[in-house]
Chain A
Amino acid sequence: EPEVTQTPSHQVTQMGQEVILRCVPISNHLYFYWYRQILGQKVEFLVSFYNNEISEKSEIFDDQFSVERPDGSNFTLKIRSTKLEDSAMYFCASTDNFGELFFGEGSRLTVL
């Protein structure tokens, strides 16, 4: 069964460092998303991506964040200069054409 895969599963970084989280969406999907969940809080929408551009972003997704689809398979989330409050579980998701959203297992980011 096709699935969304995310790497790394856990990353520990120092405050101020750049972090790239990687996702491989399901191959025939066209819409891609990043969500995050700070420990003990709700899962929050960050950004959606379609046709090689951001289609929607939340107020959380500020200039420190960027997304990219550098090739035909990967979808990355970059945090330019991490802050303590960026510590969270980051979920990638994809869908074909507003069908069911398929989520990856998440990447846990710990900022020290």
Chain B
Amino acid sequence: GNSVTQMEGPVTLSEEAFLTINCTYTATGYPSLFWYVQYPGEGLQLLLKATKADDKGSNKGFEATYRKETTSFHLEKGSVQVSDSAVYFCALSRQETSGSRLTFGEGTQLTVNP
């Protein structure tokens, strides 16, 4: 079946540091891939997505590239801010849409210190 594996957290960085959160997946067919973010006290929000191989999703300075050859979708940001502190979830869906059933990774808690 489908599964998503994220790097174990928590991750603690200083402001302006480079961020990478690893995500790999197992799926049949051609899933769509997502990163969701959950800020303290809020719901899950879509951060970025990619629907086919070699697509790059980007938003708010975050980027992730759909790598079919390595079945990965690592999240990166060149310079993190304190306001980026949140839990980040990698996810996939079986269809080339955002709205079908999602399979999530474990979530990675990011704390950015000033």
Contact = CB atoms under 8 A, between A and B. Distances in A.
Contact of B107 (A31, A43, A96, A103): A43
Nearest to A104: B43
B99 A31 contact: yes
Contacts, number: 57
Interface extent on B, as a size class? 20 to 34
A27 B15 CA distance: 39
B89 A91 contact: no
Interface of A: 3-4, 31, 33, 35, 37, 41-45, 48, 56, 91, 93, 95-106
A102 B36 CA distance: 10
B41 interface: yes
Contacts of A35: 102, 104
Q: Is the interface of B mostly helix, strand, loop or mixed?
A: loop
Contacts of B46: 100-101
Interface of B: 4, 36, 41-46, 89, 91, 95, 97-107
Contacts of B41: 105
Contacts of B102: 35, 43, 45, 101
A68 B63 CA distance: 38
B30 to A, nearest CB: 15
B36 to A, nearest CB: 8
A43 B89 contact: yes
